[in-house]
Structure 1
Amino acid sequence: MASEELAVSVVLPASGTGDRFSCQTPKQFAFLLDKPIFFHTVMAFYRFNWVQNIVIIVSAEYIDRVTAMVYCCKDKVNVVLGSNTRHRSIREGAQALLHVRPDVVVIHDVVRPFVDEEVVKTIVKNAFVHGAAGVTRPLVSTVIQGDENDMLTASLDRNL
């Protein structure tokens, strides 16, 4: 079955605090070109005419801001209040889709705006057939291991 024949919804977790980003503003609200990163990700999925619903999960602090920014896409974008963990927030997003009962739900990190339609179609088809699917890429950065004193102890093999 082609992805275009399936009822597909997307859940975009965007309620994180961005602690590792080391900025006052969570990274999903950092600007890329002229818009926050989250908006680019939403629009990437919005342009796929075969995606019926998009749920953005946000913290209470940002819910009004995000809702206003995606008003242009209200025909298939819904903003939902997140929870205190990523796992629970994704659950909130999935529950927001109970009324539409999609064949496949894609969960995508909102700070990854470069979405390839063919890759997503492949994921959707495999998720439908196998019950779940995901994307992996070979690791390209160097991974180092340190000891309790933050001293380098090994450079890990990326080919394993």
Structure 2
Amino acid sequence: MKSSEKIGRFNTPAKKTSNGVKTLAIITAAGKGKRMGSVIKKPYLILDGKPLLAHAIMPFEQSKAINGVIIVTAKGDEGFCLKNIVKRFGFKKVLKVIRGGKQRQDSVMSGIMAAGNGWDMVVVHDGVRPFVAKEAIEKVVKSAAQYGAATLAVPVKDTIKQVSCGFVKKTLPRDELWAIQTPQAFGFHTLKKAHVLAKKQGFIGTDDSILVERHGCKVAVVTGS
């Protein structure tokens, strides 16, 4: 099956139930943070008296756009996260804390598969990004509900050049370049389908939006900070 082949309808807006759109957040915290050289895993580093992961969960807990949260941790961290993050800080929307996979993409798929049925939308966020505003979450969810997929992003300020063999090959037009952030939001079945196909085809993406892009789904951009 070719990666460009469209399977089903990918840009399908979420269907509203009688209670509105039901939205799940998957927060990934399975990385080991090797680049930081710390013995403490990055999601659990303390910032202003709280672990980064607790800061990351808080706006999802507070947002009216989010109905439930699944946290995906590194293998063996499930109990620690449940006790020291979820219970300690009283996060009521957290439904499950589950084990992640080898790659970030595997962890997101684990969260999707653990979610069960009944979800209209899914929001994916990195658990080491502590400063997302709940208003940003709500804008991304609203945009994805309208267009099928959306991501938070900021315009690139630096000049970006394509380099090959140690020499500049091309200077890319800066006004068309955006640095992609999380959260990213999708129709639940849109992202689930894209992850299943990526796994089947052996494709590893650098974020979730690329998984739906490669099947013709347009991803709306919401300006972040």
> What is the TM-score of this pair, normalised by structure 1?
0.81
Structure with the higher strand share, 1 or 2: 2
Deviation at 1:22, TM superposition (A): 2.6
Deviation at 1:103, TM superposition (A): 1.2
Q: Determine the structure 2 residue equivalent to 1:122.
A: 139
Q: AA paired with 2:106? A: R
The Cα RMSD (Å) is: 2.7
Equivalent residue pairs, number: 155
Does 1:11 find its partner at 2:29?
no
Deviation at 1:83, TM superposition (A): 1.0
Q: Determine the structure 2 residue equivalent to 1:139.
A: 156
> What is the TM-score of this pair, normalised by structure 2?
0.60
Q: AA paired with 1:95? A: M
> Which blocks of at least 5 consecutive residues in structure 1 are unaligned?
none
Q: Determine the structure 2 residue equivalent to 1:76.
A: 93
Deviation at 1:153, TM superposition (A): 6.6
Deviation at 1:27, TM superposition (A): 1.5
Q: Which whole-Å CA distance do the structure 1 matches of 2:54 and 2:157 have between them?
A: 27
Q: Determine the structure 1 residue equivalent to 2:114.
A: 96
Q: Determine the structure 2 residue equivalent to 1:85.
A: 103
1:134-158, Cα deviation, whole Å (9 max, x unpaired): 111012357688887xx8979x664
Q: What secondary structure is seen at the aligned counterpart in 2 of 1:108?
A: strand
Deviation at 1:108, TM superposition (A): 0.8
Q: Which whole-Å CA distance do the structure 2 matches of 1:26 and 1:147 have between them?
A: 35
Q: Which whole-Å CA distance do the structure 1 matches of 2:53 and 2:158 have between them?
A: 25
1:58-116, Cα deviation, whole Å (9 max, x unpaired): 0123211110120222x4202111111110110011112124x2211000111111122
Indicate conservation of the 8 Å contact 2:44/2:51, yes or no.
Answer: yes
